[in-house]
């Protein structure tokens, strides 16, 4: 489905793909504040997610990329109705899920939006075998009548490639890859409309990661759900997603379509942090190889960087959160505008919006 | 698609493990013994706690005694010595008994010497003692003799009868003091023999078990019914009221438990139910904080959020996912320990001679056994105590095997 | 990777035929199976393999850091001039268990002997960069305290000189305000910061061998690049040997001089990085080839093709890789039988490249 | 430190309230031996009763106590009684620390250490028998070696200590908790870093182990105070425990003695728990942080 993406076809195709897919899930102005006790009596309030707007369309594979601590996991848990936001709404077929009563949430919202957890081992109750866990998922999902439970358990397991004898195994007898597949199987149990996967690749090695992502895409073609992939791995997001939202310190700094990596200039990232991410990724693959050759590059890179990457711990920072490490801010002589006004997401290219007061050209 | 029938409850097809079986058998024996004791207890006449002749036959055949004899006198019941009305030791007939410091043993054994040494409270001057012992048919018996100077009664009964004994002490100023009691001469075989007062030890143990094990269930129920929910709720929902309750109960815990139980016993006039309720309250905090810590440990695990993501209600997550599936073994162990601790508390009270002799208690049997150093009493009582402790440690292990993962 | 001139070819760390067993709920697992390797001074040895392939357990077993029982049961190991596993066979004995299973048991004296022997090695000749730095650093010590402890043991410089030295170490690793980091506790740092703080700790130790266990997992691309470049810089400056353990071939390829490929506790291929990169497909071990292809797809950002291929578990008998191996189907009958029955051991194909596979001509 | 204060203070407050409430419960009959309460008419009102007791307790003149303690005032005798009970509890707890803690650490450090495992099993089986069984066994021994031996105070003291030590799973519980916390501590990731960086392990082991061990000791100390008063009564040691039980057994019940000795016992328990929790707080940097 997403196989043959070279620059031209996708660029042309992006528009009409957007038009016919219906809006599935929308987040408007999501804010989440935690207060953390630093010392006795002194507590510091942290803005983990700061006014995030997101749109998920049917058949979409939306990637949310950012450093650990940039609030992407918190955003994921707010999208799946697990963590009520301090402000803002999450709209599923026209209704804000956080205003619905418990019963409707349990009957309609839960089966529609499913989450795959970061640590698959922790998401399984160690006290009973996997089959029992799936049985509860199916019963609560409400899609299967009780006498067909056994068949649908083995069907689900077979769908993700696990033999049905695994139903008797306990969670700690499974390998990392198998637990990931079980996570997917558990999410599919209620025929969801949206699946939010929080770091589904952590703990897997390169080959297994590919197989799990292939399984995700295969299930998506079969069951037509929208997939939101939360990850810190820009490579994988480029290989799988058709849209990406780059997050930094709780804010979406750039939302753009994903196009093949050897990008024509107009498809490259525009926000300094996103550019930095992509550059670091490429340097990992190409730059480091000539390690001893361009040694100058590494040391010069480290020296100029005032690098204390803020970990989203800055409470509502005035102005742009990235200016502490932003080369454009330094290049333009630390403009005061960056320090006062919070940059809003503005459309700087077709389907690409960037949260920065200035652009590469200035 | 291979058709696979998975038994919905995944550990259904598993036979009951051996240890569990032995625990259950022991428990069944205890309960049966208690029910038997309760039936006989119910039958007792108001003055003496004793067996009606028909019941003696039942016990004797049950205990395999070789000679069952119907006593001729239907009303003459086989005195057991735990007199449930009036103070211990005094017989019901004579108010002057209060003058005598000691009390005569109500039972004599055929072929075994019977002695009694009265002690007058104000015996300033010399007294002359005389005794009359008349059996039901009004005949004077010859075997009971008294030493005129010291008043010591001695003799060895030959024939099993019921005697009315009158011991009179005449002082030289003409005042006479009288002690009168009903003496039962018994020749039946007793499985565990008798204690120093001729009382049947087996009967005492049976009686004691009934008054120790059954009421202990009240303590266990309090621990289970109040401790576990309190701990679970305050652990999961962290309610202010629940944690305040736990703070209060941990404060109560700082007062030595045995003292509280003894106090409750004394204030309630040794009403067993209240004592056991006090034991339950004393044992409550330990279980409550144990369960709370367990629930808090599991609450932080991700599978709780995963269960919430499935749409499970908080209650079901707490009681099914955490307390039942992950906490049941801990709770069974804790309740079994509380049950054993309740029995031990009651036995300790008896052993420390804190309870009055009205309530038959294993502790008192041990106490008497200790004082007179009668192994015949000590050994069976200890074995019974170890039986109770053993039973309550086997049961949780049996559950562990049943609920554990199949190997 | 052009390696600097071999000053002192005598290897600083050598392991021969190491075997270590672990008791798990599913029975006794042979985590490390007759592994032999050596680390030359001043060179970077990269070890790549799936999680659970024994790449970390090989080193942690020898250094007494693994918790599993019984742990290392046979083999020899030399670090610097200390023969670490000397006298091991006397401490190993078999014991028949209650249910008839024969269990290998080490008597407790071995643990004390090991601790005594490693006292001069750990923290002097060897330093370790752990995978999860935020949890591995001592939670109730500040970063400054960690560095003070090492610097105090290393030299007898007075207090303030040591604090200056610690601040300078941190600045060298790209920390903008070392003072703040010195007073903060590990949990107050971000993933990347904690990683570089632990690297500073290992630099203060000035070891002859640095073992970096998955230094890049869980980090976003910027911090990954920074972590690797900091390791490279310190390697250049202090001329120490590095053992880089990762499941990501692109990280190994970027930095390692020699590469060791491990699978299911066995070394299946060993070659210099340059050689491994240029070898034709049929000369490389099938698993190494799979890793290479996966890395190439990732570097080029080639979209992942949807597919629900079932997982391919390890095969307990014969060559562990046989169930996943494409090469096996193209072999003739008797070599296929060999794959099924007997595990191949490492044989030299050229004087620098050796492979453990029946299908590759030696 | 705050938890320690709050906890200790709350406990003392609540136990005092509980004991005063006991005083207020209308007794079944008047207190004949208290000649100083001459003015007590029928059943005095609640306030009068509390007031009279309080006055007597404060003034230290407790005539009823004289029958039991033989001295003119309970307060003169209290220090000695408290010392005996305290000594009993402290010796037992020291022995527990000397036996159970090292065995627990050895068992926790290496699960397959045969010696440590057998020691652990021995401790478990021994301590699973209740205090009663040990007391009876010791009495049987005493009878065999003649009645007089039980009168020597040192013999009864050691007998009481042994009974307490081996009874009610005291050793077994402490051993298990220490073994479990050692095992968990050694599995902590930062301990691996300490070993890998060549730091001295002892400081981290102490800092990691003292809090759980201190918590285990603190919680068992309270139960031990209960056990101690039972042992005193069993072996006839003149301590707070036997005084309380005598007061309980006396007819009519002497409330003042119970009030005073309960408060003394509670303070004894709280002080010991405070010492244990203090040690835990001082050792664990994490709590201080």
CB-side exposure of A17: number of CA atoms within 13 Å? 18
Same domain, A120 and A27: yes
B244 has a pLDDT exceeding 90: no
Distance CA C32, CA A261 (A): 39
Look at residue B322 and tell me if it is in a domain: yes
**pLDDT of C126:** 92
Same domain, A223 and A95: yes
Cβ atoms D92, D221 nearer than 8 A: no
At which of A226, A257, A288 does a domain end?
A: A257
pLDDT in tens, B265-274: 887 777 778 8
- Rounded to an integer, the average pLDDT of C285-292 is 88
Instruction: Give the domain CATH number at B174.
Output: 2.60.40.10
For residue A337, the surrounding DSSP H or E stretch is: helix A336-340
List of chain C residues whose C-beta atoms are within 8 Å of the C-beta of residue D189? 130, 132, 135-136
Cβ atoms B168, B127 nearer than 8 A: no
Same domain, B217 and B331: yes
**pLDDT of B55:** 38
Same domain, B251 and B389: yes
**pLDDT of B94:** 34
Local structure of B11: helix, strand or coil = coil
D141 Cβ neighbours under 8 A, 6+ residues apart: none
Mean pLDDT of chain A: 78
At which of A202, A233, A257 does a domain end?
A: A257
Instruction: Give the domain CATH number at A16.
Output: 3.40.50.300
How many structural domains are present in chain B?
2
Same domain, B174 and B28: no
- Rounded to an integer, the average pLDDT of D67-89 is 70
**Alpha carbon distances (Å) from B387 to B209, B312, B382:** 11, 43, 8
Look at residue A301 and tell me if it is in a domain: yes
Instruction: Give the domain CATH number at B364.
Output: 1.10.3720.10
At which of A216, A234, A257 does a domain end?
A: A257
Distance CA B378, CA B380 (A): 6
Same domain, A302 and A205: no
**Among chain C residues, CA nearest to D289:** C140
Work out the pLDDT band at D70, boundaries 50, 70, 90.
low
List of chain C residues whose C-beta atoms are within 8 Å of the C-beta of residue A307? 174-176, 226
Kindly report the backbone phi and psi dihedral angles of residue B170, in degrees, each rounded to the nearest multiple of 5, phi listed first.
Answer: -100, 120
For residue A214, the surrounding DSSP H or E stretch is: helix A206-223
Look at residue B43 and tell me if it is in a domain: no
Query: Domains of chain C (ranges plus CATH)?
Result: 11-264 (3.40.50.300), 265-302+316-362 (no CATH)
**pLDDT of C127:** 92
Look at residue B77 and tell me if it is in a domain: no
Look at residue B80 and tell me if it is in a domain: no
- A106 touches B: beta carbon within 8 Å: yes
Same domain, A224 and A303: no
Same domain, B228 and B154: no
User: Which residues partner with B88 through β-bridges?
Assistant: none
Kindly report the backbone phi and psi dihedral angles of residue A86, in degrees, each rounded to the nearest multiple of 5, phi listed first.
Answer: -70, -30
Same domain, B320 and B226: yes
Q: Residue A285's domain spans which residues? A: 272-354
- C223 touches A: beta carbon within 8 Å: yes
B54 has a pLDDT exceeding 60: no
- DSSP letter assigned to residue B227: I
Q: Burial of C21 by CB count in 10 Å (0-12 exposed, 13-18 middle, 19+ buried)?
A: buried
Interface-testing mutation among D185, D186, D197, with chain C (most C C-beta atoms within 10 A): D197
Same domain, B162 and B221: no
**Among chain A residues, CA nearest to B314:** A102
DSSP string over D186-212: HTSHHHHHHHHTT--HHHHHHHHHHHH
Same domain, A240 and A282: no
Same domain, A40 and A85: yes
**pLDDT of C154:** 77
List of chain D residues whose C-beta atoms are within 8 Å of the C-beta of residue C199? none
Same domain, B19 and B132: no
Work out the pLDDT band at D66, boundaries 50, 70, 90.
very low
> How many CB pairs (< 8 A) connect A and B?
81
Cβ atoms D244, D257 nearer than 8 A: yes
Work out the pLDDT band at D13, boundaries 50, 70, 90.
low
User: Which residues partner with D230 through β-bridges?
Assistant: none
At which of B126, B160, B191 does a domain end?
A: B191
Work out the pLDDT band at C209, boundaries 50, 70, 90.
very high
Please state the pTM of the whole predicted model. 0.77
Nearest to B254 among D135, D245, D266 (CB): D266
Kindly determine whether residue D230 and residue B352, on different chains, have CB atoms separated by under 8 Å: yes
How many structural domains are present in chain A?
2
Same domain, B95 and B16: no
Distance CA C187, CA A63 (A): 28
Local structure of C67: helix, strand or coil = coil
List of chain D residues whose C-beta atoms are within 8 Å of the C-beta of residue B347? 130, 132
**Alpha carbon distances (Å) from C274 to B382, C3, C229:** 80, 11, 19
Q: Report the relative pairing of strands C126-129 and C209-213 from DSSP bridges.
A: parallel
**pLDDT of A195:** 94
Look at residue A200 and tell me if it is in a domain: yes
Same domain, A277 and A194: no
B362 has a pLDDT exceeding 50: yes
A231 has a pLDDT exceeding 60: yes
Question: Which of these ranges, B63-72, B132-141, C220-229, has the smallest mean pLDDT?
Answer: B63-72
**pLDDT of D274:** 78
CB-side exposure of C86: number of CA atoms within 13 Å? 9
**pLDDT of B100:** 53
Same domain, B219 and B174: no
Look at residue B69 and tell me if it is in a domain: no
Work out the pLDDT band at C259, boundaries 50, 70, 90.
very high
Look at residue A146 and tell me if it is in a domain: no
Which 157-196 residues of chain A touch chain B by CB within 8 A? 158, 164, 167-168, 170, 186
At which of B135, B162, B191 does a domain end?
A: B191
- Rounded to an integer, the average pLDDT of A93-118 is 88
**pLDDT of D59:** 52
Same domain, A251 and A276: no
Work out the pLDDT band at D55, boundaries 50, 70, 90.
low
Same domain, B329 and B183: no
**Alpha carbon distances (Å) from A62 to A54, A185, A227, C87:** 10, 20, 6, 58
Interface-testing mutation among A188, A281, A321, with chain C (most C C-beta atoms within 10 A): A281
Q: Residue B284's domain spans which residues? A: 5-34+202-403
Same domain, B105 and B208: no
Distance CA A339, CA A263 (A): 32
Nearest to B385 among D132, D225, D244 (CB): D132
Cβ atoms B131, B178 nearer than 8 A: no
Mean pLDDT of chain D: 74
Same domain, A246 and A285: no
ipTM of the complex: 0.79
Same domain, A315 and A195: no
- Rounded to an integer, the average pLDDT of A248-266 is 76
Look at residue B41 and tell me if it is in a domain: no
Cβ atoms A269, A256 nearer than 8 A: yes
Same domain, A95 and A194: yes
Distance CA D281, CA C298 (A): 52
Question: Which of these ranges, B14-18, C268-272, C290-294, C335-339, has the smallest mean pLDDT?
Answer: B14-18
Look at residue B72 and tell me if it is in a domain: no
Residue D196 Cα, gap to closest chain B Cα (Å): 29
Same domain, A105 and A214: yes
Look at residue B226 and tell me if it is in a domain: yes
- Rounded to an integer, the average pLDDT of A231-255 is 88
Interface-testing mutation among D22, D124, D226, D247, with chain B (most B C-beta atoms within 10 A): D226
Same domain, B268 and B362: yes
């Amino acid at each position: 489905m997403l196989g043959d993406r070279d620059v031209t076809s996708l660029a042309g195709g992006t528009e009409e793909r957007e038009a016919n897919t219906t809006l599935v899930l929308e987040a408007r102005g999501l804010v989440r504040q935690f207060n953390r006790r630093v010392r006795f009596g002194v507590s510091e309030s942290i803005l983990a997610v700061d006014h995030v707007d997101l749109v998920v369309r049917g058949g979409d594979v939306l990637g949310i990329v950012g450093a650990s601590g940039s609030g992407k996991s918190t955003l994921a848990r707010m999208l799946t109705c697990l963590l009520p936001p301090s402000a803002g709404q999450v709209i599923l077929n026209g209704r804000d899920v956080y205003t619905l009563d418990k019963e409707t949430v349990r009957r309609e919202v839960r089966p529609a939006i499913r989450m795959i957890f970061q640590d698959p081992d922790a998401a399984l109750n160690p006290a009973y075998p996997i089959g029992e866990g799936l049985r509860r998922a199916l019963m609560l999902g409400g899609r299967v009548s009780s006498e067909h439970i056994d068949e649908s358990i083995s069907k689900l397991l077979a769908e993700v490639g696990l033999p049905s004898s695994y139903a008797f195994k306990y969670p700690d007898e499974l390998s990392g890859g198998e637990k990931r597949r079980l996570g997917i199987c558990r999410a599919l149990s209620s025929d969801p409309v949206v699946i939010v996967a929080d770091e589904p690749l952590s703990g897997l090695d390169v080959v297994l990661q590919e197989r799990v992502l292939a399984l995700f895409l295969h299930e998506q073609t079969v069951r037509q759900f929208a997939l939101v992939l939360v990850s810190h791995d820009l490579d994988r997001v480029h290989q799988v997603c058709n849209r990406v939202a780059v997050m930094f310190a709780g804010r979406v700094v750039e939302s753009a379509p994903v196009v093949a990596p050897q990008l024509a200039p107009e498809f490259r990232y525009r926000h300094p942090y996103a550019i930095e991410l992509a550059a670091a990724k490429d340097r990992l693959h190409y730059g480091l190889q000539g390690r001893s050759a361009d040694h100058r590059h590494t040391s010069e890179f480290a020296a100029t960087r005032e690098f204390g990457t803020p970990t989203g711990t800055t409470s509502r920072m005035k102005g742009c959160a990235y200016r502490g490490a932003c080369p454009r801010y330094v290049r333009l002589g630390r403009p005061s505008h960056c320090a006062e006004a919070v940059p809003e997401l503005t459309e700087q290219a077709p389907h690409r919006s960037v949260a920065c007061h200035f652009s590469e050209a200035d | 698609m291979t058709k696979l029938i998975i038994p919905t409850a995944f550990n259904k097809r598993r036979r009951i493990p051996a240890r569990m079986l032995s625990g259950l058998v022991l428990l069944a024996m205890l309960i049966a013994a208690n029910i038997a004791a309760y039936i006989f207890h119910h039958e007792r006449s108001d003055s003496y706690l004793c067996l009606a002749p028909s019941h003696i036959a039942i016990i004797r055949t049950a205990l395999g005694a070789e000679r069952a004899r119907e006593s001729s006198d239907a009303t003459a019941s086989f005195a057991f010595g735990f007199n449930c009305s009036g103070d211990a030791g005094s017989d019901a007939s004579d108010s002057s008994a209060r003058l005598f410091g000691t009390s005569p043993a109500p039972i004599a054994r055929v072929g075994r010497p019977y002695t009694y040494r009265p002690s007058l409270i104000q015996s300033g001057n010399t007294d002359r003692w005389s005794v009359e012992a008349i059996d039901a048919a009004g005949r004077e018996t010859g075997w009971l003799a008294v030493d005129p100077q010291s008043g010591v009664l001695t003799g060895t009964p030959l024939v099993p009868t019921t005697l009315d004994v009158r011991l009179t002490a005449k002082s030289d100023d003409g005042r006479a003091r009288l002690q009168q009691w009903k003496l039962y001469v018994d020749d039946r075989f007793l499985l565990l023999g008798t204690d120093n007062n001729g009382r049947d030890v087996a009967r005492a143990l049976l009686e004691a078990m009934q008054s120790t094990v059954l009421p202990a269930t009240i303590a266990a129920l309090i621990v289970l019914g109040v401790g576990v929910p309190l701990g679970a709720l305050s652990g999961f929902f962290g309610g202010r009221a629940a944690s305040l309750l736990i703070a209060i109960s941990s404060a109560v815990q700082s007062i030595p438990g045995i003292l509280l139980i003894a106090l409750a016993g004394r204030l309630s006039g040794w009403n067993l139910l209240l004592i056991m309720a006090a034991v339950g309250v004393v044992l409550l905090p330990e279980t409550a904080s144990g369960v709370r810590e367990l629930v808090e440990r599991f609450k932080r695990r991700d599978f709780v959020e995963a269960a919430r993501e499935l749409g499970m209600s908080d209650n079901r997550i707490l009681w099914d996912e955490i307390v039942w599936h992950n906490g049941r073994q801990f709770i069974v162990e804790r309740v079994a320990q509380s049950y054993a601790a309740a029995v031990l508390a009651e036995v300790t009270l008896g052993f420390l001679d804190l309870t009055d002799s009205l309530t038959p208690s294993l502790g008192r049997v041990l106490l008497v056994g200790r004082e007179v150093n009668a192994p015949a009493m000590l050994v069976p009582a200890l074995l019974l105590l170890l039986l109770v402790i053993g039973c309550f440690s086997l049961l949780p292990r049996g559950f562990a095997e049943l609920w554990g993962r199949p190997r | 990777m052009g390696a600097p001139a071999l000053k002192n070819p005598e290897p600083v760390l050598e392991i021969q035929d190491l075997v270590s067993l672990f008791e798990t709920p599913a029975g006794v697992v042979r985590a490390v199976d007759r592994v032999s390797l050596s680390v030359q001074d001043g060179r970077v040895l990269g070890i790549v393999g799936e999680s659970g392939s024994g790449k970390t357990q090989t080193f942690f077993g020898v250094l007494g850091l693994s918790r599993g029982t019984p742990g290392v049961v046979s083999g020899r190991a030399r670090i610097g001039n200390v023969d670490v596993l000397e006298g091991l066979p006397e401490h190993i004995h078999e014991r028949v268990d209650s249910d008839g299973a024969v269990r290998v048991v080490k008597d407790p004296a071995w643990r004390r002997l090991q601790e005594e022997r490693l006292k001069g090695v750990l923290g002097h000749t060897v330093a370790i960069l752990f995978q999860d730095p935020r949890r591995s650093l001592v939670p109730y010590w500040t970063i400054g305290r960690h560095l003070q402890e090492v610097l105090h043991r290393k030299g007898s410089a007075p207090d303030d000189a040591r604090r200056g030295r610690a601040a300078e170490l941190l600045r060298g690793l790209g920390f903008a305000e070392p003072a703040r980091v010195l007073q903060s506790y590990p949990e107050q740092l971000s993933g990347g910061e904690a990683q570089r703080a632990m690297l500073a700790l290992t630099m203060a130790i000035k070891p002859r061998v640095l073992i970096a266990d998955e230094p890049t997992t869980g980090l976003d691309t910027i911090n990954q690049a920074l972590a690797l470049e900091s390791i490279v810089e310190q390697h250049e400056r202090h001329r120490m040997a590095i053992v880089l353990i990762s499941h990501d071939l692109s990280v190994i390829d970027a930095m390692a001089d020699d590469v060791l490929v491990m699978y299911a506790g066995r070394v299946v291929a060993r070659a210099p990085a340059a050689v491994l990169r240029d070898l034709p497909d049929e000369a490389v071990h099938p698993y190494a080839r799979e890793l290479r292809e996966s890395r190439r797809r990732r570097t080029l950002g080639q979209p992942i093709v949807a597919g629900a291929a079932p997982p391919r578990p390890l095969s307990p008998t014969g060559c562990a890789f046989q169930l996943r191996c494409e090469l096996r189907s193209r072999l003739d009958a008797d070599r296929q039988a060999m794959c099924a029955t007997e595990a191949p051991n490492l044989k030299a194909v050229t004087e620098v490249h050796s492979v453990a596979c029946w299908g590759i001509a030696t | 430190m705050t938890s320690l204060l709050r906890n200790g203070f709350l406990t003392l407050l609540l136990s005092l309230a509980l004991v005063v409430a006991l005083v207020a419960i209308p007794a079944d009959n008047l207190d004949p031996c208290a000649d100083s309460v001459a003015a007590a008419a029928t059943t005095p009102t609640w306030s009068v009763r509390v007031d009279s007791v309080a006055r007597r307790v404060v003034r230290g003149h407790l005539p009823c106590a004289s029958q039991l303690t033989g001295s003119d005032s309970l307060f003169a005798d209290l220090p000695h009684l408290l010392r005996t009970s305290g000594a009993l509890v402290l010796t037992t707890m020291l022995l527990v620390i000397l036996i159970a803690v090292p065995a627990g650490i050895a068992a926790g450090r290496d699960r397959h250490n045969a010696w440590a495992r057998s020691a652990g099993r021995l401790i478990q089986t021994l301590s699973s028998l209740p205090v009663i069984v040990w007391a009876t066994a010791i009495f049987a021994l005493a009878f065999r070696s003649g009645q007089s031996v039980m009168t020597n105070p040192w013999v009864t003291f050691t007998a009481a200590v042994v009974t307490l030590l081996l009874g009610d799973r005291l050793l077994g519980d402490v051993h298990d908790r220490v073994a479990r916390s050692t095992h968990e501590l050694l599995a902590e990731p930062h301990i691996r870093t300490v070993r890998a960086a060549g730091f001295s392990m002892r400081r981290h082991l102490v800092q990691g182990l003292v809090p759980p061990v201190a918590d285990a000791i603190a919680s068992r100390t309270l139960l031990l105070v209960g056990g101690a008063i039972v042992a005193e009564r069993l072996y006839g040691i003149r301590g707070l425990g036997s005084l309380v039980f005598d007061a309980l057994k006396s007819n009519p019940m002497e409330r003042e003695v119970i009030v005073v000795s309960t408060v003394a016992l509670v303070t004894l328990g709280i002080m010991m728990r405070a010492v244990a929790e203090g040690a835990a707080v001082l050792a664990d940097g994490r709590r201080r942080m």
